[in-house]
Amino acid sequence: MTTSDTQQSTDFDPHAKEQALRNESEQWDTSAPEEALADDIPLIDLGEYFAEGSEGELNRVAEQLRVACEETGFFSIVGHGISSTDLEETFDQVRQFHALPIDVKNQILMDRADWPVGGMGYLPLNNRKLPARQTGNVNEAFIVKCDDQLGMNDNQWPDSEHVPDFRPLVERYALQMEQLGKRMLPIYAKALSAPIDFFHDAFVNPLYRLRMTHYPSVAADAGSAFGIAPHVDTSFFTILAQDQPGLTVFSERRKVWVKAPVVNNAFIVNTGELLKQWTNDKFLSTRHFANNNTGSQSRYSIPFFFNANPHYVMSCVPSCADDNNPPKYPPISYAQSQGVVQGE
């Protein structure tokens, strides 16, 4: 596999793909979601594998992950090593940030003209970005972005006068998520019958986005207003923490929309378009959306979008193609696959 994006993928149009995904999503009928059944979102316990690192445990969790990625695209993980205390402290900081006055949050507005890097900072309520849609997404978010060129100091941060512990605790959580993502890579490699270090070089300097989202409560008959409109992620995979139910995913097994439950001290993980392409469509990239609470309380979620180094060129995983099933996508980097589109 190549490690630079000098090879151009001239037959891949990221803008055309983004528009096709957007057009497709606007045709999805999301009007009748059902309660999830036990196997709609499988639960994988990583605890023994992370503790032992044995081949037997790796084989066990890899097979569970393979089935989940091929048949559902979503699964939950426990035994991940992130303490409930660290998770709750992070949620507390997210709540404190979103409780700040709007004029304070607007000082670090995302994509403002006087900040040199886009896609980081405060994304206000009723935004039409991430994902881009015709109607506004009924959420507000704070987004941190890092890659091989960008670090924490390149991001926008609220003044510590207002939220003194926000930056150190968010940085701690981002590091924990990056480490968790890397610890999971051998499981994905094993699930794809590849050497367990297959993904190592691609993730030496990964691109990631940490999104801290506030969904305000809305009326029960909020109509077509989504917390986040229906979409598929562009990531390798996404690791999601949510404090209350609100995520709805499409069950490929049952061909219905299902409401994802909140499992205590668990994360929900889903495959994105990057991994779908890397595996020649073997692994699913599953459609989903988020709704707001219809009661009196706000809802919060923290998705971590995990990607390879943006300039690492990905060739099809060998086990995912043969003479009867040739690669559907050219060797391509994340940066090339996105163009200037920010789809997460």
Mean pLDDT per 10-residue interval, the chain, length 344 residues: 39 57 63 89 98 97 98 97 98 98 97 94 82 71 97 98 98 98 98 98 97 84 68 94 93 93 95 96 94 78 97 96 95 79 37
Predicted pLDDT at 20: 57
Residue 91 lies in a domain: yes
Residue 23 lies in a domain: no
Residue 22 lies in a domain: no
Burial of 48 (0-12, 13-18, 19+ CB in 10 A): middle
* DSSP secondary structure code for residue 36 in this structure: P
Residue 118 lies in a domain: yes
Q: What is the CATH number of the domain that holds 184?
A: 2.60.120.330
Domain of residue 328: give its range: 40-127+134-338
Cis-peptide, bond into residue 131, ω within 30° of zero: yes
Residue 13 lies in a domain: no
Residue 247 lies in a domain: yes
Residue 243 lies in a domain: yes
Q: How many domains does the chain have?
A: 1
Task: Kindly report, residue by residue over 300-336, the tens digit of the pLDDT.
Answer: 999 999 999 999 999 999 999 999 999 999 999 988 8
Predicted pLDDT at 272: 95
Residue 212 lies in a domain: yes
Predicted pLDDT at 36: 93
